[in-house]
């Protein structure tokens, strides 16, 4: 082809590419159709009818780019009420699409549809979506992958392949029966029978070897694992035998890379890691394993181990050949003891924001509103009589609270009540700033462990700079609580063990490059300090992401008021918003 005729063509091509990158920079709309349906799934030699999206378990992966609009039409074909939450999505001014039932919306009832409509602004990485009503997220969850804008590279070497690795929890029995039984007896719900990787329990359980996640890899490559902890109650240690993991991102925010043998991931958290495979065929297979981190009594949590297999493809065999690798030695990782709180503290202390010009850490340097919340367990009078009560004593049931308030879900949605100014009889705006009765939070627990119940919210003016210290308590035992805040990312500026010291501890706060995330573990017997800017008007749920604690009341909500300018106000509700 002559140069003279090629020139206009390539100019046209360049113009088209420029045009498409402009369109891409503004984002496109991604449509998804989510039918909530029942499906029969067999695990551990037992078949069970579960709630799913589109019959898939785990649910479909949602992929978008930073800047895109996501429109998900959810239709409920099952007998249970449902709502879906896009975990970690900021939902700027679109709280109506956030999802927690009775907080930002009424549930989608049988036969109804609701369209979740939101944009992804200033976020890229791994998040996830899950049901946000009762315990339905046990089976209703999936990955939410946010790619960077077109032409924007990762701030680390591009991986050869990206793979979602979602941890879950499997019960042989129906999870709705489990939690309603526990609520009736006041006792702790039955623990799960297995942990899962991408829905598969793996070879260490009875009758489960065929349900094993296998990651087939080639030597000398880099894989990015998008780790998501979708387990209901299990905070997890994760490791791959004879391989290291380089952490590059958590909760859809890049971090300064660091390399570990074992990492910790709490329910609600996501972590992207780079896995470099060995330079040549190693002649072995490797377990990737996860087991729980818990400081509670044995028997009160699922203490089993889930394993998947990292399988190198044999260089002599085509990748489609039957599993040649079966006869090879299988190497297992060494995981910490299940109660190794020091390991968890050391790991979380390594997390740091990138804090570069392109990815700055916008840590609030001054504070307008300061709060101190205790988070932990407590008791309430048992719902049954002493002969049927299965709580911590024969007259008390398990409960959990923030600043002694065990949060009761309303029967109407909080966001709509706030928006319409009809909060009376739905919620009150008197959530306490600090515990009403201070005590030695991590010392001998008080004699009266009963908590108060209520639907109390904390009101924040638009754009307030907030510092919140969350303190674990020793009432019924110290425990790590992964607290998740909807509508915001926050910076983890400090953490420590024992009681928070408001005089001396702030001196060690990191206001330069603290990690930015949406779910943070309040250390067992310790405290964590976070900062965020209340720049997103709406009603935002904050709760422990251990589902058992949320059920017991370890939850509350913030009301962030509208600002004065038009773009600082909550948008009006969509016309199909479910009613209750």
Ligand X SMILES: *[C@@H]1O[C@H](CO)[C@@H](O)[C@H](O)[C@H]1NC(C)=O
If one asks whether residue 90 binds Cu ion (CB under 5 A), the answer comes out as: no
Q: Report CA dihedral (531, 533, 538, 541) to the nearest 10 degrees.
A: -10
Q: How far is residue 161's CA from residue 153's CA, in Å, rounded to a whole number?
A: 14
Q: Angle at the Cα of 512 (from 508 to 517), degrees rounded to 5?
A: 95
Q: Angle at the Cα of 198 (from 192 to 204), degrees rounded to 5?
A: 55
Min dist. Cβ of residue 378 to Cu ion (A): 12
10 or 79: CB nearest ligand X: 79
166 or 544: CB nearest Cu ion: 544
If one asks whether residue 54 binds ligand X (CB under 6 A), the answer comes out as: yes
Contact with ligand X (CB under 6 A): which of 21, 303, 428, 434? 303
**x/- contact string, 177-196, with ligand X (CB under 6 A)?**
xx--x--------x------
According to DSSP, the residues that pair with 167 across neighbouring strands are 197, 229
Q: Which does 544 bind (CB under 5 to 8 A by kind): ligand X, Cu ion, none?
A: Cu ion
Contact with ligand X (CB under 6 A): which of 20, 21, 280, 342? 342
Q: Which does 408 bind (CB under 5 to 8 A by kind): Cu ion, ligand X, none?
A: none
Q: Which does 577 bind (CB under 5 to 8 A by kind): Cu ion, ligand X, none?
A: none
230 or 544: CB nearest Cu ion: 544
According to DSSP, the residues that pair with 65 across neighbouring strands are 147
> Taking Cα atoms as reference points, which of 246, 278, 250 lies closest to residue 156?
246
Contact with Cu ion (CB under 5 A): which of 78, 145, 166, 544? 544
If one asks whether residue 484 binds Cu ion (CB under 5 A), the answer comes out as: no
Q: Which does 38 bind (CB under 5 to 8 A by kind): ligand X, Cu ion, none?
A: ligand X
* DSSP letter for each residue of 180-205: HHHHHHTSPPPPPSEEEETTB--TTS
* DSSP letter for each residue of 42-105: EETTEEEEEEEETTBSS---EEEETT-EEEEEEEE-SSS-B-EEEET---TT-GGGT--BTTTB
Min dist. Cβ of residue 107 to ligand X (A): 5
- Rounded to 5 degrees, φ, ψ at 549 are -70, -40
Q: How far is residue 373's CA from residue 383's CA, in Å, rounded to a whole number?
A: 27
Q: Which does 481 bind (CB under 5 to 8 A by kind): Cu ion, ligand X, none?
A: Cu ion
458 or 546: CB nearest Cu ion: 546
**x/- contact string, 464-503, with ligand X (CB under 6 A)?**
----------------------------------------
* DSSP letter for each residue of 536-573: S-EEEEEEESSHHHHHHT-EEEEEE---SSGGGSPPPP
Q: How far is residue 300's CA from residue 296's CA, in Å, rounded to a whole number?
A: 7
Min dist. Cβ of residue 231 to Cu ion (A): 13
Q: Among the candidate windows 228-236, 277-285, 405-413, 541-549, which touches Cu ion by CB under 5 A? A: 541-549
Summarize as ranges the residues that interact with ligand X (CB under 6 A): 33, 35, 38-40, 49, 54, 71, 81, 106-107, 109, 115, 117, 173, 177-178, 181, 190, 242, 282, 284, 298-299, 303, 331, 337, 339-340, 342-343, 346, 386-387, 394, 440, 442-444, 446-447, 580
């Amino acid at each position: 082809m002559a140069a003279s005729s090629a020139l206009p063509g390539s100019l046209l091509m360049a113009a088209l590419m420029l045009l498409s990158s402009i369109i891409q920079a503004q984002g496109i709309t991604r449509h998804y159709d989510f039918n909530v349906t029942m499906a029969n799934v067999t695990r551990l030699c037992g078949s069970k009818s579960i709630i799913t999206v589109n019959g898939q378990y785990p649910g479909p992966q949602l992929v978008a780019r930073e800047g895109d609009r996501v429109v998900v039409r959810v239709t409920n074909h099952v007998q249970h009420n449902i709502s879906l939450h896009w975990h970690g999505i900021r939902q700027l001014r679109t709280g109506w699409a956030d999802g927690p039932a009775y907080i930002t919306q009424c549930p989608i009832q049988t036969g109804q549809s609701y369209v979740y409509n939101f944009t992804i602004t200033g976020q890229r990485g791994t998040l996830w979506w899950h049901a946000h009503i009762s315990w339905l997220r046990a089976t209703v969850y999936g990955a939410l992958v946010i790619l960077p804008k077109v032409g924007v590279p990762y701030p680390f070497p591009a991986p050869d392949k990206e793979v979602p690795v979602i941890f879950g929890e499997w019960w042989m029995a129906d999870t709705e029966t489990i939690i309603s039984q526990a609520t009736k007896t006041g006792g702790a719900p039955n623990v799960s029978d297995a942990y899962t990787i991408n829905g598969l329990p793996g070879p260490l359980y009875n009758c489960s070897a065929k349900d094993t996640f296998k990651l087939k890899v080639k030597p000398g490559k880099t894989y990015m694992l998008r780790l998501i902890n979708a387990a209901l109650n299990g905070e997890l240690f994760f490791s791959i035998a004879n391989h290291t993991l380089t952490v590059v991102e958590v909760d859809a925010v890049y971090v300064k890379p660091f390399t570990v043998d074992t990492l910790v991931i709490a329910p609600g958290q996501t972590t992207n890691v780079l896995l470099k495979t060995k330079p040549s065929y190693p002649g072995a297979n490797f377990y990737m394993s996860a087991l729980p981190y818990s400081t509670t009594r044995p028997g009160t949590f699922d203490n089993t181990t889930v394993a998947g297999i990292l399988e190198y493809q044999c260089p002599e065999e085509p990748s489609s050949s039957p599993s040649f690798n079966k006869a090879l030695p299988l190497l297992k990782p060494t995981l910490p003891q299940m109660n190794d709180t020091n390991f968890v503290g050391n790991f979380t202390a390594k997390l740091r924001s990138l804090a570069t010009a392109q990815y700055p850490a916008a840590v609030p340097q001054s504070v307008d509103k300061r709060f101190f919340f205790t988070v932990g367990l407590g008791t309430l009078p048992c719902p049954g009589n002493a002969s049927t009560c299965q709580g911590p004593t024969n007259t008390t049931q398990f409960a959990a609270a923030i600043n002694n308030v065990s949060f009761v879900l309303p029967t109407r949605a909080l966001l709509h009540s706030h928006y319409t100014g009809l909060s009376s009889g739905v919620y009150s705006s008197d959530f306490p700033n600090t515990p009403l009765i201070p005590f030695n939070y991590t010392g001998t627990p008080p004699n009266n462990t009963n908590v108060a119940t209520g639907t109390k919210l904390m009101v924040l003016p638009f754009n307030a700079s907030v510092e919140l210290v969350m303190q674990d308590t020793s009432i019924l035992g110290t425990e790590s609580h992964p607290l998740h805040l909807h509508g915001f990312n926050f910076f983890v500026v400090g953490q420590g063990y024992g009681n928070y010291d408001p005089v001396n501890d702030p001196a060690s706060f990191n206001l330069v490059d603290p990690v930015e995330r949406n779910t943070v573990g309040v250390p067992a017997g310790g405290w964590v300090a976070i900062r965020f800017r209340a720049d997103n008007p709406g009603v935002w749920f904050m709760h422990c992401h251990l589902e058992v604690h949320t059920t017991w009341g370890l939850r509350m909500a913030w009301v962030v008021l509208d600002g004065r300018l038009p773009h600082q106000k909550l948008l009006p509700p969509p016309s199909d918003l479910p009613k209750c």
